Every structure is written in structure tokens, then in C-alpha cells.
Amino acid sequence: MKLLHTSDWHIGRALYGRKRYEEFEAFLNWLAQLIESENIDVLLVAGDVFDNSTPSNYAQELYYRFLCRVATSSNRHVVVIAGNHDSPSFLNAPKELLEFLNIHVVGYVSDQPEDELIVLSGKNNQPGLIVCAIPYLRDRDIRTAEAGESVEDKERKIVEGIKNHYRNVCEEAKKKQAAMENPVPIIAMGHLYAAGGQTVDGDGVRELYIGSLAQVKRDIFPEYIDYLALGHLHIGQRVGGSDFIRYSGSPLPIGFGEAEQGKSVILVEFSDKTPTVTNISVPGFQELKTLRGDWQTIARNIDELKARKSTAWLEVVYEGDEIAASLQERLNEAISGSGMEILRVKNNRVLERAMKGKDVEETLEDLDVTDVFKRCLDAHEVPDDQRSALLNAYQEIIASLNEADPMAQ
């Protein structure tokens, strides 16, 4: 069987206010064509289909149009799990209808391990694959809160809860495999943060649990899993050096920090017990460029982009020593007549910073919610010995808000 592993589409995400629906549509069209040309049997989508729990009508249209297109073959399967950005109830709502199209959705965690197990048939209508489709495990799914717990206690219980859940579901899969006349491979899916995983600034990867990212080590996953398809981290990568435990990464650069990364989906082919794993590069659908330096350097880079008729979206980081008056106007004039757009300007003028004591170009978009809270602690001169408890309580509130499912009722 031939599998294709992808994740972290984040359909509906904007970049500094600029909608990106054309990019999402171009990617999904490319993916559908790849599935057809490579004769893919199973598509695995490892969470964060949408960028938020209340996706726009247009984002939903792109998603369902894609699913209808790839479901045209009666022998093809799609397995979708919820990520931490997704609404489990929203993804699950059409679950029973989608199953008629061989599209299997697991949004919620279940107390019954078999609810997260999917046995997929091959071309001969015999079992071809067992999938442990484990969605993002929310704090309340895997940990019972107790009064007086320390942050370390909470983190330990979270990691233990993740390990126990994977063991329970995978052991049930192992039983099914053992009962088969011709045992088939076991595939697992997950949406979590594996220890040692790479991230980049501005990628929008949220902290998942209270107090830290609660990174899990490779040893929490049973060794008999033939391939583990992970989502959450946006850089495609192996886990612990294994070819068979992988993040596919996001197919589109989520921010300018990812612009220079090669994006890919992962082809997994089972011709015998050991799978063959290959990265397939995703083409760039919208060029993103960061221009950095003094005015002469930035102007020269813009001229070079104009000469090759670039339609890039630009992030400009001005680092010159001179006070660049009317920087935005000068930039707009420089790109005039081209297809380029400037989405963000950050002015790092040394003199202005020295005179005013801060970067006047800094905005809320430059900070995450924890940075803002720390600024509030500074502004109110909260003593150092009180900060740790306040920060932990704040992070617990944010984690609860991120895990709320407004579509549930």
C-alpha cells in the first residue's frame, strides 16, 4: 500500500492581515493531483486542518471540495485527526457521512481504544492496514487535576497520560493484527511535541500544556509501530533519528521565518514489512522574502526582485544607523509598478531606540501572549518571588482557553 503523510494545513490562516486562500487552494489542488498520479491508497492528515476552531465558510469549502475530489476512487482512504488548533466537534460533525466516502475522522479522544482504531481494506477488499488514529490529547483527556500539585507534577502526569493512551490504543491494534490470517502493518498518528523537535520563530506553534511544551520522548511509542505520522511541528523532520517516526511539517510557510525551508509531504510505501519512506517536495505557491539591512541594501534587493518580475510578499527589517524618515513611503515608492506587496516593516533604528528606550515599531504581532503577560508583570513591578506562581497560573488559563471547543454546542 502507498500512504501519503501530511499535516498542519492551517486553512484560513492570514499573514499580517493578508488572506491566503489562493495559496491553500493551490496546495490542495496540487495534493489531489499528486494523490491521483502516484495512485495513493491512504492519505494521513495529522491534525491542524484549520487554523482555528471556527473556520470561515471559504475555508470549509476548500476542505470539503478537496475531500470530495480525492474520494472518487472506491479503494482510496483518507484518515484525519484533530490537532490543537482544530475543533474536535466541528471535524467530527460529518463523521458518519464521510465514512461512506472512505474518509475517517477522529476528532475526539475516546475511553474505548477501539474507537481510535481503523482497519483499512486494500484493493482486494482484505485488511491492508491498521491505523491508530490518535488525535491531539488535551490536558483534561489525560490528566486528573489535584489540589496542591506542582508544575512538575502536572507535567509528569501529562507525559504519563500520553504514554498510557498510546500504549492502550496500540495494544488493541496489536491484538487485531495477531488475530489476522495475514497480519498487516500498524500505523499510528499523533499531534504532539516530541523532544528535540525543531521550531522557528513566528511559526505559530502553540505551547500545548501547562508550564511547558510537555515534550515527549521517542520511548513513549511502542516499538512495533511500523510508521508514526506526526503533526504539530512545522519543520519536516525525523524523531530521534528514526526514518519511521516523522513530522511531515506544514506544506505552506506559516510565517516569514519558514520562507527558506523546503516544504514536503511524505510518501510511505509498504511492499514488505519494512516501509520505504520518501519526501516529496511541495512547490512554492507564494514567494515570501525578508529584506534586511540599511536603506541601500534594501533598495538594491528590491531592484533585483523587480528585475525578475517577482510578486513576493515582503517583510522589511530596517537595520541602518541613519534615521530613515518616511520609511514606509520610501518602500512603497520602491515597489511601485511591481507585483510585490509589503506585509510588514520593522524598524530597528539604533538612534531611535536609544532616544526612546524601546523599539517604536514593536507591535502586538511581535509578541506572544506570554510576552505580553510578562510585560504586565514588569509594568506593575511584581516581585520576583511571586512571578513564577502567577506565570504558571496564567499559562494554565491560556491552555484551557486554547483547548476550549466553541463549536461543541
Q: Residue ranges per domain, the chain? A: 2-281, 288-366
How many Å is the Cα radius of gyration of the chain?
23
Architecture of domain 288-366: 2-Layer Sandwich (3.30)
Which residues contact residue 269 at a Cβ distance below 8 angstroms, ignoring those fewer than 6 apart?
Answer: 1, 2, 3, 275, 276, 278
Query: Which pLDDT value is given to residue 351?
Result: 38
- Given a contact cutoff of 8 angstroms between Cβ atoms, the answer to whether 107 and 89 are in contact is yes
Low-confidence residues in the chain, pLDDT < 50: 209-213, 350-351, 354-355, 358-360
Query: Which pLDDT value is given to residue 371?
Result: 72
- Euclidean distance between CA atoms 270 and 356, whole angstroms: 62
Question: Which cell is 408 given?
Answer: 461543541
Question: Which cell is 200 given?
Answer: 522557528
The strands making up 237-239's β-sheet, listed across from edge to edge, are 117-121, 127-133, 186-191, 227-231, 242-247, 237-239
One-character DSSP codes across 133-200: E-----HHHH----TT--HHHHHHHHHHHHHHHHHHHHHHHHHHHHTSSS---EEEEEES-BTT----
- Euclidean distance between CA atoms 220 and 131, whole angstroms: 17
Nearest to 18, CA basis, from 306, 262, 331, 344: 344
Whole-model pTM?
Answer: 0.85
How many degrees, rounded to 5, is the angle at CA 82 between CA 78 and CA 85?
135
Nearest to 135, CA basis, from 112, 159, 166: 166
Query: Which pLDDT value is given to residue 372?
Result: 78
Which bin fits 262, alpha (ψ -120 to 50), beta or left (φ > 0)?
beta
Containing 88, the helix (H) or strand (E) segment is: helix 88-92
Query: Which pLDDT value is given to residue 63?
Result: 98
Which residues contact residue 96 at a Cβ distance below 8 angstroms, ignoring those fewer than 6 apart?
Answer: none
- Euclidean distance between CA atoms 131 and 43, whole angstroms: 11
- Report the CATH number of the 2-281 domain: 3.60.21.10
Question: Which cell is 184 given?
Answer: 498487516
- Euclidean distance between CA atoms 363 and 406, whole angstroms: 28
Query: Which pLDDT value is given to residue 366?
Result: 57
Which residues contact residue 247 at a Cβ distance below 8 angstroms, ignoring those fewer than 6 apart?
Answer: 7, 194, 197, 230, 231, 232, 233, 235, 236, 237, 239
One-character DSSP codes across 224-255: T-SEEEEES-SS-EEETTEEEEEE---SS-SS
- Could you report how far apart the first and last alpha carbons of the chain are, in Å? 39
> What are residue 118's DSSP bridge partners?
131
Q: Do domains 2-281 and 288-366 have the same CATH topology?
A: no
